[in-house]
Amino acid sequence: MPSIAHISLTFVGLMWVLPFLYYYHSYPLTTFYQEWGAAILGLFAMPLLVTKRYWLQPEIPLIVLLPIGLLLLGMMQFVLGRVGYFEQILLFALYLLWAALLMMLGQRLREEFGLPALATALATFLLVGAELNALAGILQNYRWHTFLDAVVTAKISVAVYGNVAQPNHFANYITLGLISLGLLHMRSLLRAWYVVLLTMPLLFVLVLSGSRSVWLYLLLMAGMAWWWQRSDKSCLPLLRYTLLLLLGFGLMHAVVQIPWLEGASGSVTTMRRLFGEGASGSIGLCCGEGWRIFTQFSSAGRWFGQFAWQHFNSACFCGTQTLPVCITMRIHW
């Protein structure tokens, strides 16, 4: 019979998989079932924190101070009248309390299983989720009709986004799957040819996501692996893995150009967006606008949930952006 710790770990793992596989996304306002699902699964994982054994020697990690500090800041803004609606601060507080409890749960799971076993279990869940989302991305890219049609998000743009339905978030999740695959390989839990087979679909959909941030993630992975292997030679296989990922990611850009691999509604690659169409200064524009807002209200913040409104009111200079692009950015927020 599984222990409470195993049940909690299972729900945490499912929280890393199921919300990202939810398939229903509809305009003009997409649903929040993914967030609700993650919250429910997180709460189902909490019984480990209410056991008698936990409260005999409770341990609260220092990182819990981060959400608690943000919660206190939000409450101060509410008292000062800087929050428009009570429901806003209530949702903010519930989310931060949920995050703090998950941090405490993570600390307890580490004590129960040990960090290596815990990391391996969660990496397995994450890899399964990434592979399933890669499958969804491939099916939606080619519009193959299968028995999974009802649970695969339809593709309405040139970018592949799996069931996450947002290319950048999809790329983030797939990259986490690659990191998890590297961890499992490092622990000799997967043979080399298994790793190759599991890597190919992940790299394929990463390229077709068109997310430029993938290059940053892969370079950071290689840089961190190089840094670690300087002091610990056991990390040398991890460095080889990350360098091969970079090579494979670059070569995959050539693979997706093969005519018979063209998607049903066209495609876009990260390289094309990095150096061709889609390359723009909108990211720098947003960062600069955020910094200007921060410098104006650096003491206690402008207030919770008001970035879009302040951005609209701050007479942002568009620079190289056209007026329609600036308007689109404001509408998106």
Percent of the chain with pLDDT over 70: 81
Cα-Cα-Cα-Cα dihedral sign, residues 70, 164, 174, 121? positive
| Cβ neighbours of residue 154 closer than 8 Å, sequence gap 6 or more | 140
3-class DSSP state of 169? helix
pLDDT higher than threshold 50 for residue 3: yes
| pLDDT for residue 297 | 62
| pLDDT for residue 308 | 61
- The Cα 120–Cα 179 span in angstroms is 11
- The Cα 323–Cα 333 span in angstroms is 16
| pLDDT for residue 331 | 44
| pLDDT for residue 323 | 47
The alpha-helical segments, DSSP class H, found in 17-85 are 33-44, 52-56, 65-79
CA–centroid distance for 254 within its chain: 26
Tokens of 249: 């990611």
Instruction: Give residue 216's pLDDT band: very low, low, confident or very high (50, 70, 90).
Output: very high
| Cβ atoms 286, 329 nearer than 8 A | yes
- The Cα 92–Cα 297 span in angstroms is 20
Q: What is the pLDDT of residues 302-333, one digit of tens each?
A: 556 666 666 666 655 444 444 455 555 544 44
Q: What is the pLDDT of residues 262-290, one digit of tens each?
A: 877 667 777 777 766 555 556 666 777 77
Average pLDDT over residues 51-74: 89
- The Cα 160–Cα 209 span in angstroms is 5
For residue 117, what are the CA distances in angstroms to 11, 131, 272, 283? 16, 21, 40, 39
Tokens of 238: 């991890």
CA end-to-end span of the chain:
48
Q: What is the pLDDT of residues 19-51, one digit of tens each?
A: 999 988 876 666 788 999 999 999 999 999 988
Q: What is the pTM of this model?
A: 0.85
| pLDDT for residue 86 | 86
Average pLDDT over residues 4-32: 88
| Cβ atoms 178, 123 nearer than 8 A | no
Tokens of 186: 């490092």
Give the amino acid at 27: Y
Instruction: Give residue 93's pLDDT band: very low, low, confident or very high (50, 70, 90).
Output: very high
| pLDDT for residue 32 | 81
- Phi, psi for residue 81 in degrees, rounded to 5: 80, 20
For residue 293, give the nearest of 273, 305, 307 by alpha carbon. 307
Average pLDDT over residues 75-91: 85
